[in-house]
Structure 1
Amino acid sequence: MTAPEEDKLREQALATLTTARDRTTLLTSCVEDPDLTAQHSPLMSPLVWDLAHIGNQEEQWLLRTVAGREAMRPEIDGLYDAFEHPRAERPSLPLLPPDEARRYASEVRGRVMDVLESTAFHGTRLTEAGFAFGMIAQHEQQHDETMLITHQLRKGPQALTAPDPEPVPLFTGPAEVLVPGGPFTMGTSTEPWALDNERPAHLREVAPFYIDTTPVTNGAYQAFIEDGGYDDPRWWTSEGWAHIRKNSVTAPLYWKRDGKQWLRRRFGVTEVVPPDEPVLHVCWYEADAYARWAGRRLPTEAEWEKAARHDPAGDRSMRYPWGDADPAPEHANLGQRHLRPAPAGSYPEGESPLGVRQLIGDVWEWTASDFLPYPGFQAFPYKEYSEVFFGPDHKVLRGGAFAVDAVACRGTFRNWDYPIRRQIFSGFRTARSGDV
C-alpha cells in the first residue's frame, strides 16, 4: 500500500468514526437522563448501556489490542460484555451513570485519535487497510441503529426529528424483474472493511427467478390483512401460526385500526399509515405468510445478492446495485437522514442494471435463508461476531434500512435475527422462480 493510499484510508477511518460518534451523541442527548437509564423494552438495553459499551469495545480493540495500551477501566469489562448479561438483566447492573459514561467514551475516543495517527495500516490482519478502525465504526453504527430502535419503542413525546424523504410520483414501472440464471460471485475477498461472515468470495449458481422491483408496500400489505391473512393458517408455517396466535399478532408492530383506516406510531407521533411506503416492523413469519398469500415466496439470500450485485453486461459482481461508488444521497435512504422509508420506487439512480430499486436502504429485507457460513469461512477477529449465531435459528436480512449508516451496509453485508423479531426496521420483497 502506498503512502497516499494509506493517508486516504486514515481520512476515511477518521470520518466514519466521527460520523458514528456524532450520531451516538444525538441519540443520547435528545432525552433526559431518566430516559437513558430506563429500560424501554426487555428486548433492548438501556440507552446508557449502549453508550458505555460503545466506548468499552473501542477501548478493548483499538487501545488495548491494536496499540497495546494498559486497560483504562478493566473492572467494567464484564458489565458491558453483551454475552455475559442478557438485555433484560442489564438495568439491574451497576452501570456507569450517564455523565460518567459520556466522559469514559469521550476519553477513549481522544486516545484513539492519537492511535489512528500513529498506526501503520499494514503489518497485521487487524491493521491492514485500517480494518480495526472500520470494524469499530461499524460496531458503533450498529449500536446507533439499536438505540434508534429503542427510541421507537420508547413511550412519550417525540424526541427525534428529521426531514421526510422527497416525494416521488407513484411508481408505475414493472412489478417484477427477471434475474437471469447462471453463476455469480457472492461475498467478497477484497472489500477492506467487510466482516468475517461476508467472506470469502465464492461462486454461486442461481436458477432464473423474478424479484419484486420495489419492496412490498403498506398498501399491498393492508390487502393481505383485509383478506383475512392473519386468520388463515394456509399462509403460515406451523411455527408462524403458533406464534401469531399465542401473541395475538394481527398487523405490523405499531399499527392500530381506527375505523376504516390504519394508524401507526412512529417515534412518538401517531399518523395514518402511508400506503406507498415499504411495510416496516414485520417479522419473518409475517413476510413469509404474505408471500405465500400472494402466490410467491421470499427470495433466498443468494438470489437477493445476485439481484443487488450482478452486472450482466460486465458479467461481474459490483459493490452496490448502482456500481462500485460509495453510497450518496441520490442512491439510497441511509444514515438516519430520514426517520422513515422513502416511497416505493424512489432513488432511480440507485437501481440495479436489471432495474430493481431500493435494494439498499429504506428497510432491511427478510430472505428465505438461514444464517450460515460461506464455504471457507474463518472467524475473525472473534467467534462471537458471527460464528455463534450460525444455524437454523436465525434468518438472514439484507440491504440495510434508513437507520443504517453506509459504513455498515454493502451489497455483501449480512444481518440476521430470530424470525419473531419485529422491533427491527424490517420489511421484505417477494420472488418467484423463473421459467426461462
Structure 2
Amino acid sequence: MTGPAPETPDTGTDTDADALRKRALTSLLTARDRTTLLTSCVEDPDLTAQHSPLMSPLVWDLAHIGNQEEQWLLRAVAGQEAIRPEIDSLYDAFEHPRAERPSLPLLPPDEARRYAAEVRGRALDVLEAADFHGTRLTEAGFAFGMIAQHEQQHDETMLITHQLRSGPPALTAPDPDPVPLFTGPAEVLVPGGPFTMGTSGEPWALDNERPAHRREVAPFHIDTTPVTNGAYQAFIEDGGYDDERWWAPEGWAHIRRHSIRAPLFWHRDGGQWLRRRFGVTEAVPREEPVLHVCWYEADAFARWAGRRLPTEAEWEKAARFDPVTGGSTRYPWGDADPGPEHANLGQRHLRPAPAGSYPAGESPLGVRQLIGDVWEWTASDFRPYPGFRAFPYKEYSEVFFGPDYKVLRGGSFAVDPVACRGTFRNWDHPIRRQIFSGFRTARSEAV
C-alpha cells in the first residue's frame, strides 16, 4: 500500500479555497519574478538574438509564457475572448521548430512584456474569483498549478539560454555552502519487492506522472550521490572517449562525428580542466556533480565503471520508498514541501552543490541529492504508465512517448520546487547536453 497520502487540499470550505488561492498566487508570482529577472538582466538585442539553434530567442519564451497563460486561464477556465488570437500560431511550440523562430514576426521585447503583463493581470482576477469545484481543469486549482509549472519550465529553458550566450555574466547568485568531503558509503542497497510508482493524489501532478501503480523491482545498489566531476575526469584520463567498448553504437558515432572529448563547456588548459559557467571561466570543481553530459556519455561512464544507469523505476524507488512503512513519499525526505535544507532548487544558486550536501534531504535508505542539483539520466525510454490518459492536451506528454527520448529524474538547481517532486518526469533526446543533466550509476544485487 502507499504511504501517507499527499497533502491534497479539500476544497469544500472557504478556508480550504483560500489556502488554494494563496498557493496558486504565490506560485504564479514566484514564476513571474523569475521570468522578469531572466529577461531584464540583458539588453533587448540579447532578447531577440538566437544564442544557439537549440534554443529559442528569449523574447519568444516570454511571449509564449503569456500566450499559454491566456489560452488556459483566460480562455479555457474563464471563457474570455482571445486578446491576441493572431499570435497563437507564432507561439505554438509544435508549429515552429526552435531554429526557425528568429525568422518569425515575433512581438518585440516591450510589446511582449506588455502582453504578458496584461494576461497576468486578468489571470489574477480569474484566480480571485475561481471556484475550485466542478471541472477537472479547475479542481484543486490544477490549471493555475499547470501554468505556474509551465512558466518555471520555460524559466529553466531561458537559464539554459543564458548559459549558452557569449559575453560577460548577466546573472549572479551566491554559491552553495561548502561542506566537508563526503566520506559516507559509495552506494546504497535498495531492497527488492513492490512499491507504488507515480501518483493519483498529488493535485498538481501532470499527466505522465499518473496513475499510481504497483511496480516490482529487483534488489539493486545505487550511488549514494551523483557522479562527480572528479570521477568523470578519471573516465576521460583513462581514454574513455577513445574506447569504443564503452559506447552504445549510436553514441560512439555521435561523439566521433562531433569530436566530443569532454562534457559541454569544458576545455583543457595545460594540465587543468576549465569550464565556462554563465560567462565565467573557472577550474572544474572535482567535488561537484558532473553537469552537461548527454545520455550516451552517462551510459559510457557507467559501463566503464562496471555499472549501469538505473532504470526509471529503480530511481523512483530509491527516492520515494520507505522501508519502515512500505509506502511511497512525495519526496525523499517525506511529504513536506522542499525547503532550502532539503535540496538545491529554484535558481537559488547557479551551480550544483558539492556531492554529499543536504543530509536533511536524503531518502530513508540514505541516498542523497535525488532532488535538485542535476537532472539524472536513467536507462529508461519515456513511456506512459499503465492506465495513462492525456490531460489536458496530448502534446504535453503523449506525442513524446517512445524510444527517441530518455527519462531524466530529480530536477536541477535550475528547477523550481513547484515543478519538481519525487514523481516528476523529464525527458530529452539522448544527445542533449545543453540541459543541466548529470547522473548516478547502479548495479544489480548479486544472487
Query: Shift of the alpha carbon at 1:435?
Result: 2.7
Whole-Å Cα distance in 1 between the matches of residues 345 and 142 of structure 2? 22
Match of 1:236 in 2: 247
Give the TM-score normalised by structure 1.
1.00
Whole-Å Cα distance in 1 between the matches of residues 220 and 16 of structure 2? 40
AA aligned to 1:108 is V
Whole-Å Cα distance in 2 between the matches of residues 24 and 259 of structure 1? 39
Query: Shift of the alpha carbon at 1:104?
Result: 0.3
Measured against aligned partners, the alpha-carbon deviations of 1:50-83 in whole angstroms (never above 9, x if no partner) come to 0000000000000000000000000000000000
Whole-Å Cα distance in 2 between the matches of residues 315 and 422 of structure 1? 36
Whole-Å Cα distance in 1 between the matches of residues 245 and 63 of structure 2? 46
Match of 1:30 in 2: 41
Among 252, 267, 270, the alignment partner of 2:263 is 252
Among 424, 427, 441, the alignment partner of 1:416 is 427
Please say if 1:144 is aligned against 2:160: no
Query: Shift of the alpha carbon at 1:262?
Result: 0.1
Whole-Å Cα distance in 1 between the matches of residues 115 and 253 of structure 2? 45
Whole-Å Cα distance in 1 between the matches of residues 137 and 18 of structure 2? 17
Query: Shift of the alpha carbon at 1:7?
Result: 1.2
Measured against aligned partners, the alpha-carbon deviations of 1:177-198 in whole angstroms (never above 9, x if no partner) come to 0000000000000000000000
AA aligned to 1:199 is R
Residue 38 of structure 2 aligns to a residue in which SS?
A: helix
Among 84, 87, 104, the alignment partner of 2:95 is 84
Residue 285 of structure 1 aligns to a residue in which SS?
A: helix
Please say if 1:121 is aligned against 2:132: yes
Measured against aligned partners, the alpha-carbon deviations of 1:387-435 in whole angstroms (never above 9, x if no partner) come to 0000000000000000000000010000000000000000000000013
Please say if 1:105 is aligned against 2:112: no
Among 301, 310, 317, the alignment partner of 2:328 is 317
AA aligned to 1:38 is A
Residue 311 of structure 1 aligns to a residue in which SS?
A: coil
Query: Shift of the alpha carbon at 1:164?
Result: 0.1
Whole-Å Cα distance in 2 between the matches of residues 240 and 88 of structure 1? 23
Among 140, 143, 162, the alignment partner of 1:132 is 143
Match of 2:404 in 1: 393
Match of 1:381 in 2: 392
Whole-Å Cα distance in 2 between the matches of residues 311 and 322 of structure 1? 10
Match of 2:446 in 1: 435
Match of 2:375 in 1: 364
Residue 79 of structure 2 aligns to a residue in which SS?
A: coil
Measured against aligned partners, the alpha-carbon deviations of 1:243-290 in whole angstroms (never above 9, x if no partner) come to 000000000000000111100000000000000000000000000000
Please say if 1:338 is aligned against 2:349: yes
Please list every run of 5 or more consecutive structure 2 residues that lacks an aligned counterpart in the other structure. 1-10
Please say if 1:68 is aligned against 2:108: no
Residue 90 of structure 2 aligns to a residue in which SS?
A: helix
Whole-Å Cα distance in 2 between the matches of residues 262 and 84 of structure 1? 41
Please list every run of 5 or more consecutive structure 1 residues that lacks an aligned counterpart in the other structure. none
AA aligned to 1:54 is I
Whole-Å Cα distance in 2 between the matches of residues 135 and 122 of structure 1? 16
Match of 2:59 in 1: 48
Measured against aligned partners, the alpha-carbon deviations of 1:208-249 in whole angstroms (never above 9, x if no partner) come to 000000000000000000000000000000000000000000
Query: Shift of the alpha carbon at 1:3?
Result: 2.1
Whole-Å Cα distance in 2 between the matches of residues 245 and 93 of structure 1? 34
Whole-Å Cα distance in 2 between the matches of residues 32 and 376 of structure 1? 48
Match of 1:223 in 2: 234
Measured against aligned partners, the alpha-carbon deviations of 1:7-45 in whole angstroms (never above 9, x if no partner) come to 111100000000000000000000000000000000000
Whole-Å Cα distance in 2 between the matches of residues 78 and 285 of structure 1? 35
Whole-Å Cα distance in 2 between the matches of residues 294 and 6 of structure 1? 52
Query: Shift of the alpha carbon at 1:5?
Result: 1.5
Residue 366 of structure 1 aligns to a residue in which SS?
A: strand
Whole-Å Cα distance in 2 between the matches of residues 167 and 67 of structure 1? 48
Whole-Å Cα distance in 1 between the matches of residues 103 and 251 of structure 2? 33
Whole-Å Cα distance in 2 between the matches of residues 235 and 435 of structure 1? 22
Match of 2:313 in 1: 302
Residue 334 of structure 1 aligns to a residue in which SS?
A: coil
Whole-Å Cα distance in 2 between the matches of residues 205 and 111 of structure 1? 47
AA aligned to 1:422 is R
Q: Which runs of 4+ in 1 moved over 3 A?
A: none
Query: Shift of the alpha carbon at 1:308?
Result: 0.2
Please say if 1:289 is aligned against 2:305: no
Residue 25 of structure 1 aligns to a residue in which SS?
A: helix
Whole-Å Cα distance in 2 between the matches of residues 207 and 9 of structure 1? 39
Match of 2:3 in 1: none
Whole-Å Cα distance in 2 between the matches of residues 290 and 121 of structure 1? 48
Question: Percent of aligned positions with the same letter in both sequences?
Answer: 87
Residue 23 of structure 2 aligns to a residue in which SS?
A: helix
Measured against aligned partners, the alpha-carbon deviations of 1:349-371 in whole angstroms (never above 9, x if no partner) come to 00000000000000000000000
Whole-Å Cα distance in 2 between the matches of residues 240 and 156 of structure 1? 31
Among 153, 156, 177, the alignment partner of 2:167 is 156
Whole-Å Cα distance in 2 between the matches of residues 127 and 88 of structure 1? 35
Whole-Å Cα distance in 2 between the matches of residues 203 and 6 of structure 1? 32
AA aligned to 1:35 is D
Residue 79 of structure 1 aligns to a residue in which SS?
A: coil
Whole-Å Cα distance in 2 between the matches of residues 261 and 302 of structure 1? 38
Whole-Å Cα distance in 2 between the matches of residues 88 and 378 of structure 1? 31
Match of 1:194 in 2: 205
Match of 1:347 in 2: 358
Whole-Å Cα distance in 2 between the matches of residues 285 and 6 of structure 1? 47
